[in-house]
Amino acid sequence: MSWLTFQVKTARRAQLVDITARVAEAVENAGVIDGTCHVFVPHTTAGVTINEGADPDVAADIESHLRELVPKEAAFEHAEGNSDAHIKTVLVGPSCMAPVRGGKLALGTWQAIFLCEWDGPRTRQVEVAVSAV
């Protein structure tokens, strides 16, 4: 098992940040030929997901449609004023898994790994664990 942690600075309140290159680098440095790569973010208002990275409009659509689905200004109990960000984080989840084949991250052709910021801008932590199978 190999662990690596890196930080991501986000620039907007809601932003999908493509972190594929940094995860792929962690996988290549792990020395695991065949296995799995788990990506985890230790946050309650940011998550991680795998989706299309080829066309940046997809990430923009996810940002804008989740903003419509869970508006910031709504009737929430949580006094911090960021319940929408907590709910969007529930929707994308705090982790994802991808296969490692031949020592490399084996995503689908159109896939990328995104840190999903919902309460930025902030500095977020990403943890990558690579294990052999």
Query: Which own/partner contact pairs does 59-63 have at CB distance under 8 Å and 24+ positions apart?
Result: 59/16, 59/18, 59/114, 62/16, 62/116, 63/14, 63/15, 63/16
- Smallest gap, in angstroms, from Cβ of residue 80 to Zn ion? 4
- Smallest gap, in angstroms, from Cβ of residue 26 to Zn ion? 29
Rank residues 105 and 117 by Cβ distance to Zn ion and give the closer one.
117
Rank residues 62 and 85 by Cβ distance to Zn ion and give the closer one.
85
Pick from 63, 79, 72, 73: nearest CA to 15: 63
The span from the CA of 45 to the CA of 21, in Å, is: 23
Rank residues 6 and 76 by Cβ distance to Zn ion and give the closer one.
76
- DSSP structural state of residue 112: E
- Smallest gap, in angstroms, from Cβ of residue 77 to Zn ion? 11
Rank residues 61 and 80 by Cβ distance to Zn ion and give the closer one.
80
The span from the CA of 61 to the CA of 56, in Å, is: 9
Per-residue x/- track, 67-106, Zn ion (CB under 5 A):
-------------x-x------------------------
Pick from 70, 79, 56: nearest CA to 13: 70
- Smallest gap, in angstroms, from Cβ of residue 54 to Zn ion? 33
Q: How many residues bind Zn ion (CB under 5 A)?
A: 2
Residues that bind Zn ion (CB under 5 A): 80, 82
